[in-house]
Structure 1
């Protein structure tokens, strides 16, 4: 059916006030109106037979759209958009296989606490439970998405659509950000019904922790002789407070993958992303007070079972469940990280300043230098192949550059611990769920969020080919996007694990692909380099060239 003219009094671009109670809208228009009212300016997705009414409304409501070549790519792009912009990422799919295609990206967003909104049509409002063979029919989309999202909400009226969107944005603002799914019956998208004014998620005042708990934590930190800070992604908005506490306490700082760069990794107190190091783990277990901010302290960051700290563990997190998940908090501080850390700083401001060490003179700085050396000595043979290339990349990239990462050896062994980052930059990595193919579509999402910043995708040849078709998306956007690929001829990590077990490596060696030629076939550019100096030159050129540029680095893998 055709959509009737809007009756809400808005102009062609939909910039006027919200409609009065009783306006009549289609379900698609009610959805896009609600998204725009919540500040959504960009969306990622692929149109299909069942979601055309959504696409009909996007432009007139001022929402730009990026079309990846696969729904998983749409999910990763929206994920990175959210991480970089601080606003929820929005992805639109059609029914059935399209929604299942994005499920891996939803699982990754759940693992990494990313506010991702996935919107899809569903079977018609009164569709029988007995299978009828309708296009894209499946037994329950909501059941499938509930397995990987915070919730999956199927609406039953046009007016309910606005409430469902407000519910999603309320979750994004009030608790630990997680992905959500809203399903709109496909016939409801075209149905015209009266609706009320736009429902908006309420403004939220950041919460601080219980004052008595803050006082206990401040006492413990003030008395600490061997303190340490562990910072996760939840600490990012409190970067200044984290640095102030570290310097005031003379406390070395570790970060998780998602917390990379919260404190400048060139700072003399920074150990960077080192939780996986046995030497660092032994040192951390001996701290008398550990302040963990916005982190699960998860095995995916430690790459081993959780160590048992011998001292007091203070945990700061929005999510109350984190206080007893994994390592139980001795002093739980539930609240917004910036507010909680601000309260901690204020609690002992008068007495703690006198104890603040001069920068560079604390024994902790010597500890950090020794631990960095011990960490690097543990993996020198394995990691040496990437270090000159990462140093060359760092020399070319701006301070605020964005690096998107993959579940590849060059990323988690190489760039995470060895590519230094400051709070002005970002490193976006698929932690926890550990999906492959994240880097390229994530770079597209990051570049959409911040087209003025340098964005570089870093991947391996195996991971890149999970989403290599997104080169077409990058070429269509025409924005400079280098894609640096360390090519080890297949699935290097699994090959090494098989060899370590004494197995004959099986199904891990992949035929060579001319990735630079493939980039050119998609409308981009490509080159292969064999020295760090050549990588620096190629990266500088790619950052000034519209469209994607694949730069491959053949790896000599140690045996």
Structure 2
């Protein structure tokens, strides 16, 4: 009786670790991975490019909370996936990329084999938290144990496994499962110290980042106890929707900086305090933060900024412990008034163009409540990242911060929809970004996914053109001709409509796509960039 191959055992090992979907394009170097896939019960989704596979895995992970998994071939398959891995690393998204690699005896010898790289494992290590090779028939179990430990302990990110061709087809030899220590418990002394500092402070402000995005109820309760406004970075939007203490605005804005600098104690939950959130205008500094208590799962992160106290641990665990340690009588420090005043100042600060686009986002939210809104780098997304209160925790995310990879929106929306098929997914991308990854829409068609692709068509890269003009550089290369999106939608076999950039008109078109179900496309015909005349 034939035993399992390493390829089959790897798929079985993923199934045992609660992997229910993989995104991949099969090739001659991953055939053995697919031998066991058909009988595994794991769903396979076929993107049109390996970059799409990685971004789909990213979107899936953000919505499901489980690692997104991509299968890619040796060489170009892996290099095409490095950009999504880098985006996942920047945003702490758990992702597993499994690739093939040439036969063990040929590695590093430059013999000219198909898809050969000088050092594929080393290349992956430049962006992965861990990159491991299944080097022999006894290595698979320990490798899976180690990479899943990396995915589920500490700060998450991308990991990589490569399987040589000769090993993938060899017979699997089972090894005992490794035992690993769980994450250490949160130190109760640190909780007591932090609670004392928070109790004594007069004006607390909470900064919530992506590490807090599954702590919605606890965060709201903690904020109410402290009467503290909650500033949410892009990846934390939706945690405080409609709450009187919410400040769903970029901490780069002057009004938000003033709120932060007016606090006598800052509680930073799961935020790396990175410049794409805290200094997007490149002023060279972030807001001054007095008596900061910083909470993060990553010990390295906790050493990167001057703080009063650090607490290493999961934000959900720490928030619950702080609530228990604080006095049960809520503070009265005018938190709601401070939050409201800040939001009003932000509304004025962002200016009329961005206000109009936020009004469009508000209309979209009303037309499709509790939707997942997945974005690319485009005008409405920039506006929303500055100031927008989404109505679903973890339901607003995009690649316009962090690593900033263009072409993210369409495939990430597909991964998000696979993770939650009950949700309407709205992908907002520009005509430029859409041209990076529009073939992936066919994967949404294949899978019959309820995604509305909103294409903001301003005939080019307006943000880049404006940046070039602002510093006196001739605007070149920012006006690539957009395709005929109506013809594109027809070729995909999906409904299409084109509308002007008006809130209620866009909302009406969106309601029709939601009612119809399945994938659809809405083109918003925005004004193109007009260079200033001397």
- Normalising by structure 1, what TM-score? 0.90
CA distance in 1, matches of 2:463, 2:189: 47
Aligned pairs for 1:37-186 (under 5 A) are 37-127=16-106, 129-186=108-165
CA distance in 2, matches of 1:439, 1:543: 19
CA distance in 1, matches of 2:497, 2:516: 13
CA distance in 1, matches of 2:420, 2:329: 42
* Residue in structure 2 matching 1:345, options 309, 323, 334: 323
After superposition, what is the alpha-carbon deviation per residue over 1:162-218, rounded to whole angstroms, capped at 9, x for unaligned? 221121111122111110000110121111243246x377694x6543222211111
CA distance in 1, matches of 2:22, 2:277: 31
Shift of 1:226: 1.4
Shift of 1:558: 7.7
Shift of 1:422: 3.1
Shift of 1:294: 0.4
* Residue in structure 2 matching 1:510, options 474, 480, 495: 480
CA distance in 2, matches of 1:201, 1:79: 28
* Residue in structure 2 matching 1:364, options 319, 332, 335: 335
Relative to structure 1, is the Cα distance of residues 202 and 263 closer, same or farther in structure 2, using a 3 angstrom cutoff? farther
Q: Does 1:293 align with 2:272?
A: no
After superposition, what is the alpha-carbon deviation per residue over 1:336-359, rounded to whole angstroms, capped at 9, x for unaligned? 2122121211112xxx333434xx
* Residue in structure 2 matching 1:379, options 326, 350, 369: 350
Unaligned runs of 5+ in 1: 7-23
CA distance in 1, matches of 2:35, 2:107: 28
Secondary structure in structure 2 of the residue aligned to 1:25 = coil
Aligned pairs for 1:464-475 (under 5 A) are 464-475=434-445
Secondary structure in structure 2 of the residue aligned to 1:44 = strand
CA distance in 1, matches of 2:144, 2:220: 36
Q: Does 1:34 align with 2:13?
A: yes
Relative to structure 1, is the Cα distance of residues 150 and 448 closer, same or farther in structure 2, using a 3 angstrom cutoff? same
CA distance in 2, matches of 1:433, 1:281: 23
Shift of 1:505: 1.0
* Partners of 1:519 and 1:548 within 8 A in 2: no
* Partners of 1:84 and 1:446 within 8 A in 2: yes
Q: Which residue of 1 aligns with 2:237?
A: 260
* Residue in structure 2 matching 1:439, options 404, 409, 416: 409
Shift of 1:252: 0.5
Relative to structure 1, is the Cα distance of residues 28 and 254 closer, same or farther in structure 2, using a 3 angstrom cutoff? same
Q: Which residue of 2 aligns with 1:398?
A: 369
After superposition, what is the alpha-carbon deviation per residue over 1:54-91, rounded to whole angstroms, capped at 9, x for unaligned? 11211211111000000011101011111111111100
CA distance in 1, matches of 2:154, 2:506: 42
Once structures 1 and 2 are overlaid, which stretch shifts more, 379-388 or 94-103? 379-388
Shift of 1:314: 0.3
Shift of 1:291: 0.1
After superposition, what is the alpha-carbon deviation per residue over 1:402-454, rounded to whole angstroms, capped at 9, x for unaligned? 111112222022x2344422345611222310101111101110111111111
CA distance in 2, matches of 1:177, 1:67: 25
CA distance in 1, matches of 2:32, 2:382: 42
After superposition, what is the alpha-carbon deviation per residue over 1:136-172, rounded to whole angstroms, capped at 9, x for unaligned? 1111111111111111101211231122112111112
CA distance in 2, matches of 1:181, 1:558: 41
Aligned pairs for 1:10-29 (under 5 A) are 24-29=3-8
Aligned pairs for 1:480-499 (under 5 A) are 480-499=450-469
After superposition, what is the alpha-carbon deviation per residue over 1:9-33, rounded to whole angstroms, capped at 9, x for unaligned? xxxxxxxxxxxxxxx3211112111
Secondary structure in structure 2 of the residue aligned to 1:183 = strand
Secondary structure in structure 2 of the residue aligned to 1:28 = helix
Secondary structure in structure 1 of the residue aligned to 2:214 = helix
CA distance in 2, matches of 1:555, 1:298: 31
Relative to structure 1, is the Cα distance of residues 274 and 194 closer, same or farther in structure 2, using a 3 angstrom cutoff? closer
Shift of 1:34: 0.8
Q: Which residue of 1 aligns with 2:259?
A: 283
After superposition, what is the alpha-carbon deviation per residue over 1:461-485, rounded to whole angstroms, capped at 9, x for unaligned? 1111111111111111112210112
Aligned pairs for 1:220-369 (under 5 A) are 220-264=197-241, 266-302=242-278, 303=280, 304=282, 305-307=284-286, 309-325=288-304, 327-348=305-326, 352-357=327-332, 363-369=334-340
- Normalising by structure 2, what TM-score? 0.94
Q: Which residue of 1 aligns with 2:526?
A: 555
Secondary structure in structure 1 of the residue aligned to 2:344 = helix
Relative to structure 1, is the Cα distance of residues 385 and 488 closer, same or farther in structure 2, using a 3 angstrom cutoff? farther
Shift of 1:512: 3.3
Shift of 1:315: 0.3
Secondary structure in structure 2 of the residue aligned to 1:301 = helix
Once structures 1 and 2 are overlaid, which stretch shifts more, 461-470 or 159-168? 159-168
CA distance in 2, matches of 1:93, 1:79: 15
Q: Which residue of 2 aligns with 1:11?
A: none
Shift of 1:283: 2.5
CA distance in 1, matches of 2:178, 2:240: 35
CA distance in 1, matches of 2:33, 2:377: 34
CA distance in 1, matches of 2:43, 2:181: 25
Secondary structure in structure 2 of the residue aligned to 1:295 = coil
CA distance in 1, matches of 2:322, 2:46: 45
After superposition, what is the alpha-carbon deviation per residue over 1:301-331, rounded to whole angstroms, capped at 9, x for unaligned? 1214443525200001111111121x22210
Relative to structure 1, is the Cα distance of residues 423 and 403 closer, same or farther in structure 2, using a 3 angstrom cutoff? closer
Q: CA RMSD in A?
A: 1.9
CA distance in 1, matches of 2:529, 2:100: 50
